[in-house]
Structure 1
Amino acid sequence: MRVIFMGTPDFSVPALRAIAARHEVVAVYSQPPRAAGRGQKPRPSPVHRAAEELGLTVRTPERLKSPEDQAEFAALNADVAVVVAYGLILPQVVLDAPRLGCVNIHASLLPRWRGAAPIHRAIMSGDAETGVAIMQMEAGLDTGPVLAETRTPIGPSDTTADLHDRLSAMGAELIVDTLDRLPLTAVPQPEQGVTYAAKIDKAEARIDWTRPATDIDRQIRALSPFPGAWCLIGTERVKLLRSRLTDGAGRPGQVLAGFSVACGTGAIEVIEAQREGKRPMPASEILRGLTLPDSLA
């Protein structure tokens, strides 16, 4: 089929590569290059770079609201557009342009976790499973009917980084299978069970040791690697990136054995952390260069 691919971050790249191996990708749309790095030079997105490696045409409009951009999109005469974390709201005229419309790879089991941060929110809320849904797009936010889905359990050690990579690969496999079977009958999302995955606010990242250990463990894993749940060790802000529940009790924030810390109820053991200006390191390596105080703040 003639496919338009629309995506921006690393999460979208496996789907682009999988589609390009089986279909004609007539154009790739991605967010414009943004200033990044020490020199603040414009840096193309991961999808932009992957598309150029594949020899594909890349378009980076700031928005898709001008008649010129919309006419250029329609002139591609695509059978379908695949959208994966593109970062722009698509006007109805764009949604309607491809013969089979626009389909979206969404990293949750809809209607659970519509919105911006479904992976983070699934871990933070203690969901037992998540997955990928292929949705026929419509004007509402992640409200369209579902064409296909696949599921995966959320393990007790899974971080957002772990699930991100697993769901990205699952989405790539599922979209290729879905495209091969189009047109399909889409199933409307149920009205019950709708939840919204609000964008992560950095204010959510500071650890409150008075909370239960289960909540803090989920917070650490959900916010790893970014923005990173953090606490003060002395006067230094340290990000905690991996953790697990452990036996132990004490006053909230009290350091127990090793890098175990008492919470409001129960305790966690820190497995991986990152000091200011340093790379992420196993807790054992952190402890060789950092003496923990009696309590963390």
Structure 2
Amino acid sequence: MTPLKLIFMGTPDFAAHALKALVEAGHDIVAVYSQPPRPAGRGHSLRKSPVQLLAEEYDYRVHTPEHLKTPDVQAEFAAYKADAAVVAAFGLILPQAILDAPRLGCLNIHASLLPRWRGAAPIQRAILAGDETTGISIMRMEAGLDTGPVLLEDRIEIERKETAGELHDRLALIGARAIVEALDDYAHGRITPRPQPHEGVTYAAKISSGEARLYWDRTAVDLERAIRAFSPVPGAWALLPSGERLKVLAAEIEPVHDAAGHQPGDILDDRLTVLCGEDALRPTLIQREGKKAMPSAALLRGLVLKKGDRLS
């Protein structure tokens, strides 16, 4: 493998795996770009991103611009004369001047099989939709939202009870391996970027906390997917009879043959089984406000919820 001069652009843990893989592969990381430190935790103190923290361990120069629109920022980027920029969950729009600066362009690690699930939340959207497969696409970026030609794909099956957090971790490792392979092949002319088809385009809009609310008139299948898609963040949630928000992090589908006298949201037994629009859900891992996640059995030892009570 021929070492390349690379600029790395990323922010969360997903991207940090890729940065580590590129370093271990022997590439010359001339600069790292990441989102600025953001307030986090109860004290709202500024917290550096996982990519920035890792880059500082390697003693790389780190840039944390609010945007990349100004001529001076773009000139600084171009001055590195990088062979390529590797982008993974960076979180900022790349202007055309940035896309054009590296010799081989900007290559993005995207957590879906493009053109399915272009956009911000491909992992969660794949689970919500009940997709059986997903994967990693290494794409040469262009001005459109995840519209660029694909260099390499790595397809995997989504496991039956897999959460977004678990799938994220698997795809992060696959993406790290794939970008090393794709860079080497692309730099040596062994692969040609393949334009994305016009058919099958879907968009993965950013997830909001409001979207994660559980509406019990939906089917148990749909709600179980939502619970997995929103685990661990933002966490699917419902309201207890007291009005307290309860996060549901895992649940089992329970067939229902006779729910006469009950409405969706009603608790059907002493195991917290909740009636849905079709069948029922039995939460198995929950989290009360200000508390740690716990099995539902532990919740029921300290909170009286009886048959006929309702979650909303």
- CA-atom RMSD, angstroms? 1.3
State the partner residue of 2:272. 259
Structure 1 residue 282, shift from structure 2 partner: 1.9
SS at match of 2:8: strand
How far off is 1:201 after superposition?
A: 2.2
Alpha-carbon distance in 1 for matches of 2:268, 2:184: 55
Output aligned runs, 1:72-151, within 5 Å. Answer: 72-151=76-155
1:58 aligns with 2:62: yes
Q: Does 1:276 align with 2:273?
A: no
Indicate whether 1:3 and 2:3 are aligned.
Answer: no
Residue deviations 1:122-158, cap 9 Å, x none?
A: 1111111111100010000000010001111112211
Q: Does residue 1:248 correspond to 2:260, yes or no?
A: no
Residues 202-259 of structure 1: CA deviation (Å, up to 9, x unaligned)? 2212211111111111111111111111112221210001123222353312223413
Which residue matches 1:213?
220
- 2:17 corresponds, among 14, 35, 50, to 14
- Are residue 172 (structure 1) and residue 184 (structure 2) matched? no
Query: 1:36: Cα distance to partner?
Result: 2.1
Q: Normalised by the size of structure 1, how large is the TM-score?
A: 0.96
Task: Please say if residues 253 and 296 of structure 1, whose CA atoms lie closer than 8 Å, have aligned partners that are also in contact.
Answer: yes
Q: Which runs of 5+ in 2 are unaligned?
A: none
How big is each residue's C-alpha offset from its partner over 1:177-202, in whole Å with a ceiling of 9 and x where there is no partner? 11121233011111000001111122
- Structure 1: 5+ residue runs without aligned partners? none
Look up the equivalent residue of 1:194 and give its one-letter code: V
Report the CA distance between 1:19 and its aligned residue: 0.6
Worse-matched range after superposition: 278-287 or 101-110: 278-287
Q: Does 1:296 align with 2:311?
A: yes
1:27 deviates by 0.6
Kindly provide the amino acid, as one letter, of the partner of residue 302 in structure 2: G
Amino acid at match of 1:149: E
For the residues of structure 1 that align with 2:181 and 2:121, how far apart are their CA atoms?
Answer: 25
Q: How many residues align?
A: 297
Of 282-291 and 90-99, the range deviating more from structure 2: 282-291
SS in 2 for 1:35: strand
Residues 219, 242 of structure 1: alpha-carbon distance in 2 compared, 3 angstrom cutoff: same
Letter in structure 2 aligned against 1:231: A
Pairing of 1:218-229 with structure 2 (within 5 A): 218-229=225-236
Counterpart residue type for residue 276 of structure 1: E
Runs of 4+ in 1 over 3 A off after TM superposition: none
Q: Once the two structures are superposed, what CA deviation does each residue of 1:271-291 show, in whole Å capped at 9, x if it has no partner?
A: 211011101112222222222
Q: Secondary structure at the match of 2:245?
A: strand
Q: Which amino acid aligns with 2:213?
A: R
- Percent identity, please: 57
2: CA distance between counterparts of 1:89 and 1:17? 23
Q: Deviations over 1:11-32 (max 9, x none)?
A: 1110010011111111110011
Partner Cα separation in structure 1 for residue 43 and residue 235 of structure 2: 25
Counterpart position of 2:165: 161
- Partner in structure 2 of residue 193 of structure 1: 200
* Residue type of the alignment partner of 1:2: K
2:40 maps to 1:31: no
Amino acid at match of 1:290: L
Shift of 1:8: 0.6
Counterpart of 2:221 in 1: which secondary structure? Answer: helix
**Secondary structure of the equivalent of 2:7?**
strand
Deviations 1:155-181 (A, max 9, x none): 221111111111111111111111121
Deviation of 1:75 (Å): 0.9
